Amino acid sequence: MPLRGEADADGRGQLFVGSLEKGLRVLSAFLTGEAHLSLSDIREITKLDKSAAQRFAYTLHALGYLHKDPNTRRYTLSAKMLDWSVAYMQSDHLIQVAGPHLVNLHEETRQAVNLSRLVDTDVIYVIRIPARRARLLSPIVGERVPAFCTASGRAILSRRSDEEVATILDRSHLAPFTPRTICDRRSILARIAAARQVGYTIAEEECLPGELTIAAPIVNADGRSIGGVNMSMTTRDWTPERMRAELAPVLLQTVAALSNLQGSRVAAPALS
């Protein structure tokens, strides 16, 4: 038997609260892409029995985190859920210090600029500044995209250990989003390795047709990535060669400044 608080074979020690996990499982059901869920839908997604699903949904509704349509009897997340998002945004030191630097990068390049964090096998956008004349839909704050096929994800992975990268790829669903999505593991690792050498990476139409993205990692004092900054633009207006020449230097300046604020000593490239 594991010691008190020590994880057992399932990663759950004696301090693990199963009922809390089930309640969060109900909330997580709304992350599957369907905004309006019936009690039967919740049961199917969470694999809870009818009584448990009903009790947890009722409790979350009573607390104001779920809204229940009186006609359809379907549940949706309520605006109260945003309280947690705001609390996170206010507590994340990187978000607090990154804002002015990202605004400067946006003003200098006129391109969409995003800050992302790695969560599980995905990157989540925590700051976004859209282009003034956007031709593509920009990601919203909180949106997840797979790390393996995004410039932000591969940039962040470039400053993680080989073991961590392997674990993340093992757990990732390497499926294409477009005909140009790179799903071959060896090719993904090659791009991560190249990013380690030059400090940034480019993705060409891997998530959206017509989209080019360039990203670089933010690192802490240990040299480990804690986030990534990316810019996105269209194939109509840009080429990878032009991105390397015009955007890579200013992007590297930005992530160097943010890394230095995290205790790192990254040397920024000199701009001509």
Instruction: Give 229 or 139, the one with higher predicted confidence.
Output: 229
Residue 33 scores a pLDDT above 80: no
DSSP states of 203-229: EESSSSTTEEEEEEEEE-TTS-EEEEE
Question: What are the distances in angstroms from CA 140 to CA 125, 255, 268?
Answer: 7, 21, 29
Domain assignments of the chain as residue spans, ordered by start: 18-82, 92-261
Q: For residue 272, what pLDDT is reported?
A: 52
Hey, what CATH topology would domain 92-261 get? Beta-Lactamase (3.30.450)
Residue 52: alpha-carbon gap to chain centroid:
31
Mean pLDDT score of the chain: 90
Residue 41 scores a pLDDT above 80: yes
Instruction: Give 134 or 58, the one with higher predicted confidence.
Output: 58
DSSP symbol at 31: G
Structure tokens at 250: 């200013």
Average pLDDT estimate for 1-29: 74
The candidate with the shortest Cα–Cα distance to 135, out of 232, 239, 231, 202, is 232
Q: What is the pLDDT of residues 79-119, one digit of tens each?
A: 999 999 899 888 999 999 999 999 999 999 999 999 999 99
pTM: 0.83
Domains 18-82 and 92-261 share a fold: no
Q: For residue 156, what pLDDT is reported?
A: 98
Structure tokens at 215: 């990203």
Q: What is the pLDDT of residues 16-29, one digit of tens each?
A: 999 999 999 999 99
* Class of domain 18-82 (CATH, top level): mainly alpha
Q: For residue 227, what pLDDT is reported?
A: 96
- The secondary element (H helix, E strand) that includes residue 166 is helix 162-171
Q: For residue 271, what pLDDT is reported?
A: 61
Residue 231 scores a pLDDT above 60: yes
Residue 3 scores a pLDDT above 80: no
Q: For residue 10, what pLDDT is reported?
A: 56
Q: For residue 199, what pLDDT is reported?
A: 96
Measured between alpha carbons, how far is 117 from 213 in angstroms, rounded to an integer?
Answer: 16
Average pLDDT estimate for 144-163: 96
Average pLDDT estimate for 179-192: 96
Confidence of residue 12 (pLDDT cuts 50, 70, 90): confident
Structure tokens at 82: 């945003």
Provide, rounded to the nearest whole percent, the portion of the chain with pLDDT above 70.
Answer: 90
Instruction: Give 272 or 253, the one with higher predicted confidence.
Output: 253
Average pLDDT estimate for 146-166: 97
The candidate with the shortest Cα–Cα distance to 127, out of 108, 151, 103, is 103
Q: For residue 215, what pLDDT is reported?
A: 98
Q: For residue 269, what pLDDT is reported?
A: 63
Confidence of residue 143 (pLDDT cuts 50, 70, 90): confident
Average pLDDT estimate for 20-44: 92
Do residues 188 and 228 make contact, with C-beta atoms less than 8 angstroms apart?
no
Average pLDDT estimate for 208-227: 95
